Amino acid sequence: MIVIPAVDLRDGRCVQLVGGEYDKESVRLENPPEVAREWVREGFSRLHVVDLDAATGRGRNDDIIRDIIRDSGVPVQVGGGVRDEARIEELLLDGASWVVVGTRAVEDASWLSEMAYQFPGQLIVAADVRERKVVTRGWTETLPLDVVSFVEDLGALPLAGVLVTAVHMEGQMQGTDLSLMEDVADASAWPVFASGGVTTIEDLRALEHRGVHGAVLGMALYTGAIEPRRLLEEFGA
């Protein structure tokens, strides 16, 4: 299993949110590029960057994202508010290894298909989920769309993977939604990355046992609930 630190951006800071609520921060750090570099120094070999402001229409953190990509020295996957071809191209030109597409990918199947074939192996589709229903637009809208059915329908596209975030578990340090992740992993033709609620090494072992390819970690790393050295000894990066 791959373990990937999350660097979530809001107002030029690195933050962690609780329960998918934009105004409920539990972590706020002043220098996101330095945070990213510290995770690399710890031994992680991949980063997950999300522009929360872009995802919710509150602005963008482009300069910070470019700094992270340039300075981290490891592959970076970037998402948050990516809703057109120009933004995908911009992020890839800036050096992102993968671009994470969420809201439009969920809402516009023809656009997703076009983009997937235009950028084969470079897109990760993000399905943010609350109680198995897909949520979009920065977790503010719930669609009548079951995540397992959605993931099954992605099988023909040349994707790099599928990222499923259990928003209802996000930042709460209560473990992840194992049954959800198992069902998604069974349904997906592509590597599945799990996010939301991962709190312990045991959570990661359980995800790996259920066929999950990787996990994006936030609160557990930022609070010290999981010690990076021990984590990397077992799972690598």
Total Cβ atoms within 10 A of residue 48: 25
How far, in Å, CA of 17 to CA of 181, rounded? 21
Backbone phi, psi, residue 221, to 5°: -80, -45
How far is C-alpha 77 from the chain's CA centre? 8
128 as an active site residue: the answer is yes
18 exposure class (CB count in 10 Å sphere: 0-12, 13-18, 19+) = middle
The active-site residue, picked from 8, 51, 177, 203, is: 8
51 as an active site residue: the answer is no
How far, in Å, CA of 136 to CA of 235, rounded? 31
> Hey, what amino acid is at 146?
D
Q: Which residues contact 229 (CB under 8 A, 6 or more apart)?
A: 42, 43
Strands 13-18, 2-10: pairing kind: antiparallel
The active-site residue, picked from 53, 128, 177, 183, is: 128
CA angle 22, 213, 81 (to 5 degrees): 30
Termini Cα distance of the chain: 8
- The 3-class SS string of 142-169 reads EEEEEHHHHHHCCCCCCCCEEEEEEHHH
Residue 147 structure tokens: 């995540």
How far, in Å, CA of 48 to CA of 7, rounded? 6
- Show which residues are catalytic: 8, 128
